[in-house]
Structure 1
């Protein structure tokens, strides 16, 4: 099992990071959607704190994912029509950009409300900005809109995987779970 990516398969580092980020993002989106409409109070505060703490953990993996993508060899895509390949590239780009925007606007939204970021109460990073109400409102809206864009891109990503699996009969999923040997994915 290779650690790094090859032209025909994803390595252990890419696969591990993909699935950790996928799981964390799904949890974050679920929590964010849940607590957004709760009335102010202890329950909303609990879920907000949980969202913020898991967000800090997610940020670490997103940064690692972006850095790894920048320095690792790119696995070649399965052959498909040019339009579909361009669409695939755009969806992957939107996913990566949305993840970066989310992990940047998340803590900035907290800090511009004048609060510290304190993941799981293990440590606390004080607000470097202090309260900035107008900027806080803008960042909060960017965070929410980006969450919806991320959900749309995730849906397209999953539909693309299903298209490869069902219509193209390609073993694309095997690349991300490590169930196929690199030479087997070159079909």
Structure 2
């Protein structure tokens, strides 16, 4: 069992980064919901700090995942019909694009107000903007709220595809993302 990918299997690093990213995306959604439901300013501030801080941590894991993916061999795809291969790649690509939209627009919402991003109590990432940029703030805020409306159906399709591989195809697609093989 290897840390690195092979032509037949994902390694432990790729598997861990995938599942950390999955848990992170769900956690960010739940923290975002808590933010929307906060009843007073103090609760909203705590929820915002947690949402933003976890988002910045997730960014580091997603960046590591992209770098790892770019430097590792991809396991050969299992046999499936060409239209399903295209659909799976399209869904995965759009899903990752929506995550990227969230990761880019989240910080822009804060920075465009000429504020830095506090990551828990660890430090601050200063805004690249010396003054407020209202049009950018509005655009980033809208994109950050709209992207999940596309992201969640794509996630559902991704999970349904994994279940199809387990229940209908009875192949090793999901197993490869759970445990490395020799």
Q: Per the shorter chain, which TM-score range?
A: over 0.9
- Partner of 2:117, secondary structure, is coil
Deviations 1:57-90 (A, max 9, x none): 0000111111222222111222111111101111
Deviations 1:74-107 (A, max 9, x none): 1122211111110111111112222222212111
Q: Do 1:95 and 1:154's aligned partners in 2 also have CA atoms closer than 8 Å?
A: yes
Partner of 1:59 in structure 2?
Answer: 59
Partner of 1:3 in structure 2?
Answer: 3
Cα shift at 1:14? 0.5
- Partner of 1:121, secondary structure, is coil
Aligned length: 181
Q: For residues 43 and 122 of structure 1, what CA distance do their matches in structure 2 show? A: 20
Deviations 1:8-51 (A, max 9, x none): 21111100100111111110011113322545511122111100
TM-score normalized with structure 2 length:
0.92
Partner of 1:141 in structure 2?
Answer: 142
Q: For residues 88 and 50 of structure 1, what CA distance do their matches in structure 2 show? A: 33
Partner of 2:43 in structure 1?
Answer: 43
- Partner of 2:116, secondary structure, is coil
- Partner of 1:118, secondary structure, is strand
Q: Greater shift after overlay, 124-133 or 55-64? A: 124-133
- Partner of 2:177, secondary structure, is helix
Q: For residues 97 and 64 of structure 1, what CA distance do their matches in structure 2 show? A: 16
Q: For residues 61 and 85 of structure 2, what CA distance do their matches in structure 1 show? A: 26
Residues 98-117 of structure 1 mapped to structure 2, 5 A cutoff: 98-117=98-117
Q: For residues 111 and 60 of structure 1, what CA distance do their matches in structure 2 show? A: 18
Q: Greater shift after overlay, 55-64 or 104-113? A: 104-113
Partner of 2:124 in structure 1?
Answer: 124
Q: Do 1:62 and 1:99's aligned partners in 2 also have CA atoms closer than 8 Å?
A: no
User: Which segments of structure 1 move beyond 4 Å, counting only runs of 4 or more?
Assistant: none
Partner of 2:178 in structure 1?
Answer: 177
Q: Do 2:38 and 2:47's aligned partners in 1 also have CA atoms closer than 8 Å?
A: no
Q: Do 1:161 and 1:172's aligned partners in 2 also have CA atoms closer than 8 Å?
A: yes
Q: Do 1:66 and 1:96's aligned partners in 2 also have CA atoms closer than 8 Å?
A: no
Partner of 1:185 in structure 2?
Answer: none
Partner of 1:95 in structure 2?
Answer: 95
Partner of 1:155 in structure 2?
Answer: 156
Kindly report the root-mean-square deviation, in angstroms, between the aligned alpha carbons of the 2 structures. Answer: 1.5
